[in-house]
Structure 1
Amino acid sequence: MRVIVAPDSFKGSASAAAVAAALAEGWREARPDDEVVLAPMADGGEGTLDAVAAATAGSTRMPVAVTGPHGHPVSAEWLLLEQPDGTRTGLVELALCSGLELLDELEPQTAHTLGFGQAIRATLDHGVDRLLLALGGSSSSDGGAGALTALGVRLLDERGAAVPLGNAGLARIAAVDWASLAPLPAGGAVLLSDVDNPLLGDRGAIAVFGPQKGVTAGRAGAAESALARLADALVENPGGALPETPGAGAAGGTGFGMLAWGATMSSGARAIAETIGLPASIVGADLVITGEGRFDGQSAGGKAPVEVARLARSSGVRCALVAGLVDAPPVGFDGVVSLSELAGSVAASLADPLHWAREAGRRLALE
C-alpha cells in the first residue's frame, strides 16, 4: 500500500510533523513493507511554518529580528520556498512575530503586529516573488495597523504625530499617509486563514476573538470603536478592503489591514496543501491519514482535516481521521480513531499524545 500521512498539529500538545511521524511509525510497525509518505499539514495557524518546512524540499529558514507584540526584540524566522521554475515564495507566520504565546501577560490595549510587518518587510527586501501570510495565533486586536506601519503606512493623530501602537491607539487616528507604502511582490500576497469573520459586529474580531486576547466585557465597546475608527480611516485603501469582507476579522483584524495593503484571502488549508504538493501526492495512494487535536463543529469551516478529506475524495482515495477528541460527527471519512478513546480519557491522551498517535497508526494498519 501507499499511505499519505497528512495531519494538522494537535495544538497545545504536538506539532504536525511529530504527529505525522508517530502515525507513520505505528503504521510501519504493523505493515513494514508499505510506502508511507509524510506530509504534515496546517491551515494558517500556529505551526504553519514548521509544517511547510517539514513537507517541502528545498525550503530555507531565514532568521529575522523583529519587535514583538510587547515592544521587546524577538528572534523570529520566515521560510523561503524556491520553486523549480525559479520563483521564490516567502512564508511568514504571524504567531512567530506577533503571537499570543510571546506574551507573559495579555496586553489587549497595547499588543500589536509591528513585528509581523517587519518580517514581511524582510521578505520583500530579500526579493521574493510571492508571499504567503499565515494569520493564526495573534496576540493583538490592532486591525493589522502595526504591520501596515512596518510596511510604510503612517497613521497620524490630530497633531500629525504617529498614533501609539495597539488597539487603544487606533482611536486617535485622524489621518493616513500611504505615500511610503511598500509595494506587493509581483506574484501578490495570499492570506492563510481558516476563518471568515468580518472586522466588526457580532461575528467580528472583538466579539469572537477579543476575549482570548484579554479584551474584557467592560473594554469590548472601546476596543470595537477603535477598530471602527481604523476602518473609517482606511476607507480608501489600495486593496479595496471593506470591514465586512470575509476574513477581515482574522487575527484581531489583521486580515483587514493586509487586505487593505492588497493581499488576497484564501483558505489556509487549501493554500498549504497546494504549496506542499499534497494533491499530486494523493493521486495513486491507497489511503490518506489526517487529523487534528480536536475535531468539532468548527472543523468543517476550513480546517485541515476536512480539506485533506476533500482532496482524497476527489482522487477516489480513502481517508481516515485521527483526532485527540472527536466532538462532532466526522462526515466524509472512511475511518475514525479517537486518541482519548484509545487512552481511556482525554487527560491520558494529552499526557502522551505521540504514544497514542503511534497506537492509532498501528490500529489503522491492522484494519
Structure 2
Amino acid sequence: MRILVAPDKFAGTLTAVEAADAIATGWGRHAPDDVLDLAPMADGGPGFVDVLQAALGGELLGVTVQAPHGDQVPATVLFVEDTAYVESAQACGLHLLAGGAELGSTFGVGQLLLAAVESGARRIVVGLGGSGTNDGGAGLLAALGATSDGILDSGAITLDTVSKVDLAPAVAVLEGVSLVAATDVDIPLTGLFGATKTFGPQKGIPEERLVEVDGWLETFAAAVDRRVALEKGAGAAGGLGFALLALGATREPGIGLVASAVDLAARARLADVVVTGEGAFDFSSRSGKVPYGVAEVAAEALRPCVALAGRVLVGAREMRALGIESAYSLVDLVGEERAFADPAGSLADLAERVARTWSR
C-alpha cells in the first residue's frame, strides 16, 4: 500500500516535519512494506516557512526583528526566485507573548516585509496564524512607514488615540510588489465573530475586556478603511489580515497555498490512504485548518482520510462532516502525561495501532 502522511504541527510539542516522521516510524513498524510519502503541512501559522522550504527549496535570509513587547528575535524569510515567504508568527507568535496581548505590536512583521522588499522580492506571501498580538496590524503599518495622528506601534491599547492613518508611505515602499495574505481563518476584524472575540481569550485578554479591546480596533478600522475590516480574513492573526488587505493584498487560504506547493492533490491520487493530524482535532478545524484541507484533497482523489491528534474533541457525525473517516487520540491511547513527555514516541505508537486497521 501507499500511504500519504500529511500532518500539521502538534502545537507546543512537534513540528509538522517531526510529526510526519513519527507517524512514518510507527506505521512502518506494523507495515514495513507500505510506501510512505511524507508531506508535512501548514496553514499559514507556525511552521509555514519550514514546510515550504522542504517542498520548494529556496534560500533563507536570516534577520532580526522586534518581538511583540520590544525584544529582538531571530526570524527568516524564504526566497524562491522572486517570491518571498514570511511567517508572521516568527515575529509576533503566541510563544513570544511576554506581556498582555493588548500591549503587543506587529512591528516585527513589518520589518520582515521590509527585509523581503530590500532583498528584491516582487511577491511576498505572508503566513498568518498563531499570533499573540491583537493590534489590527497597526505595528506592521508603522514599520512600513505609515503615519498617524496617534500611536501605531505600541499594541491595541493605544489605538483609541488614532483618528487618521496615512498609508501612502507604506504603499510607496511596496510599489511593484504583490502581497498575498495566507490565512488560516476567514473572520472579519471586529464584532461578535471578529479577531478579539474569537481569539482574544487564548491570548490572555480577560472576558470582561473583550468589548473594550474590540472597540479600539473599531476606532482603528474607521481611521483606515472600515469596509476592509469586514472582508474575510481581516481578523486573521489579530488583525494582521486587515493591515495587509488595506495595503492591497489578495487573500489565499494558507492550507490551499501549501497544498499546491507540495502538489498534494497528485500525491493523494497515488495513495491508498491519506493520514493527517494536528494537536487538537475539533470542529474549528473546518475554518481553514490542515486536517479539513487535507481531507478535502483526499475526497477529491476518492481516498479515505484518517486523522491522528493529541486530542479528538468531535464525535463521529462531526468528524464525517469534516471529511475524516476516523480520528484517533494520542491522549486516549497513552495518557496525557506520556503524550507531553514523549510526543514523538507516543505518536509513533498511535500510528502503529492505526496501521493495524488501515494497512492491508
Match of 2:328 in 1: 337
Match of 1:257 in 2: 243
- Residue correspondence of structure 1 range 101-140 to structure 2 within 5 A: 101-104=95-98, 106-140=99-133
SS in structure 1 at match of 2:169? coil
CA spacing shift, 1:281–1:129, aligned 2, 3 Å: farther
SS in structure 2 at match of 1:138? coil
- Residue correspondence of structure 1 range 3-18 to structure 2 within 5 A: 3-18=3-18
SS in structure 1 at match of 2:104? coil
Match of 2:160 in 1: 171
CA RMSD of aligned residues (A): 2.1
Match of 1:85 in 2: none
CA spacing shift, 1:317–1:187, aligned 2, 3 Å: farther
Give the letter for the 1:132 counterpart: V
Cα contact 2:186–2:235 (8 A) shared by 1:
yes
CA spacing shift, 1:49–1:232, aligned 2, 3 Å: same
Cα contact 1:131–1:185 (8 A) shared by 2:
no
SS in structure 1 at match of 2:103? coil
Give the letter for the 1:210 counterpart: G
CA deviations on 1:42-86 (whole Å, 9 max, x unpaired) are 1122222223233x142322211111111122211122234xxxx
Match of 2:301 in 1: 315
Tell me which of 288, 303, 314 is aligned to 1:328.
314
Residues 1:284 and 2:277 aligned together: no
CA deviations on 1:118-161 (whole Å, 9 max, x unpaired) are 1011112222232221111222211001111122211224xxxx
Match of 1:60 in 2: 59
Q: Which runs of 5+ in 2 are unaligned?
A: none
Distance in 2 (CA, whole Å) between partners of 1:365 and 1:357 is 12
CA deviations on 1:246-291 (whole Å, 9 max, x unpaired) are 2211221111111101112222211211122222222222221111
SS in structure 1 at match of 2:228? coil
Q: TM-score, normalised by structure 2?
A: 0.90
Cα contact 2:106–2:153 (8 A) shared by 1:
no
CA deviations on 1:189-210 (whole Å, 9 max, x unpaired) are 2222222221111112222222
Match of 2:24 in 1: 24
Distance in 2 (CA, whole Å) between partners of 1:337 and 1:208 is 27
Give the letter for the 1:37 counterpart: D
Distance in 2 (CA, whole Å) between partners of 1:185 and 1:363 is 54
CA spacing shift, 1:361–1:144, aligned 2, 3 Å: same
Cα contact 1:184–1:262 (8 A) shared by 2:
no
**1:89, distance to aligned residue in structure 2 (A):** 2.1
Q: Which runs of 5+ in 1 are unaligned?
A: 83-87
Distance in 1 (CA, whole Å) between partners of 2:152 and 2:345 is 50
Task: Name the one with the larger helix percent.
Answer: 2
Q: TM-score, normalised by structure 1?
A: 0.89
Tell me which of 210, 217, 221 is aligned to 2:200.
210
**1:365, distance to aligned residue in structure 2 (A):** 3.0
Cα contact 2:167–2:247 (8 A) shared by 1:
no
Give the letter for the 2:93 counterpart: G
Cα contact 2:163–2:222 (8 A) shared by 1:
no
Cα contact 1:156–1:163 (8 A) shared by 2:
no
SS in structure 1 at match of 2:276? strand
Identical-pair percentage: 40
CA spacing shift, 1:80–1:15, aligned 2, 3 Å: same
SS in structure 2 at match of 1:215? coil
Give the letter for the 1:336 counterpart: A
Give the letter for the 1:130 counterpart: R
SS in structure 2 at match of 1:76? strand
CA spacing shift, 1:174–1:351, aligned 2, 3 Å: same
- Residue correspondence of structure 1 range 175-214 to structure 2 within 5 A: 175-181=164-170, 182=172, 184=174, 188-214=178-204
CA spacing shift, 1:212–1:338, aligned 2, 3 Å: closer
CA spacing shift, 1:22–1:217, aligned 2, 3 Å: closer
Distance in 1 (CA, whole Å) between partners of 2:177 and 2:152 is 32
CA deviations on 1:155-179 (whole Å, 9 max, x unpaired) are 224xxxx555211221112322233
CA spacing shift, 1:319–1:163, aligned 2, 3 Å: closer
Cα contact 1:279–1:311 (8 A) shared by 2:
yes
Cα contact 2:163–2:220 (8 A) shared by 1:
no
Cα contact 2:338–2:346 (8 A) shared by 1:
no
The number of residue pairs the alignment matches comes to 351
Distance in 1 (CA, whole Å) between partners of 2:141 and 2:36 is 43
**1:34, distance to aligned residue in structure 2 (A):** 2.8
Distance in 1 (CA, whole Å) between partners of 2:188 and 2:104 is 20
**1:305, distance to aligned residue in structure 2 (A):** 0.8
Cα contact 2:185–2:287 (8 A) shared by 1:
yes
**1:338, distance to aligned residue in structure 2 (A):** 2.0
Match of 1:47 in 2: 47
**1:298, distance to aligned residue in structure 2 (A):** 0.8
Distance in 2 (CA, whole Å) between partners of 1:108 and 1:25 is 39
Match of 1:80 in 2: 79
